[in-house]
Amino acid sequence: MGKTLVTTIMIVLGIALLITSDCAAQSKKQTATETKGKSGFEVLEGRWLRPDGGYIIQIRSIDASGKMDAGYFNPRPINVSKAQATKESGKIKVFVELNDVGYPGSTYTLTYDPKEDVLRGIYYQAAMKQSFDVYFTRMK
C-alpha cells in the first residue's frame, strides 16, 4: 500500500506541475498579445490642422499594424488612398497619400513630435512636382 500511495502522490504532483506550467505559458502568451495591441500609434488619433492653409488630416482610427482610417480636408474632403503609421528608430512616422482631382499622388511624410504634440515633415505636391516643409498641430 505504501508504494501505491507514493505513486499516486507522484502522479498528482506531476499533473499539478503540468497544469501550472500550462497556465504560466498561457499568461505569457496573453501578455504578449496585449502588448502587441498597444502599439503607441493611438496617440495619433484626432484632428490635425496645417496652420498655413487650414488643411486638416483626421485620423479616425489606427490599428496595431499602423493602418489608419484617415480623412483629408481642404476644406472639402479629398480622397485618401493610403494612410499608414510606422515606427523607425523609436519615432512614429506617418505617411498619407492623396488621390483626387488636383491631388493625383500627392503625399505627406510626417514625423510625430511628442514633446510639442505636432506632426512635422514634407508635403509633396505631385501635380507641381514640388516639396514643402509643413507641420500639423492637434485640434482641441
Residue that has been written with the C-alpha cell 492623396 in this structure:
98
At 1-22, the pLDDT tens digits run: 566 655 555 554 445 444 544 5
Residue 86 has pLDDT above 60, yes or no: yes
Is the CB of residue 91 less than 8 Å from the CB of residue 112? yes
Quick check: 63 pLDDT over 70?
A: yes
Give the three-state DSSP class for 9: helix
Predicted confidence (pLDDT) at residue 111 exceeds the cutoff of 80: yes
* CATH no. for 41-138: 2.40.128.30
pTM above 0.85, yes or no: no
Query: For the residues 30-51, what does the mean pLDDT come to?
Result: 74
Mean pLDDT along residues 31-45: 66
Nearest of 46, 121, 51 to residue 91 by alpha carbon: 121
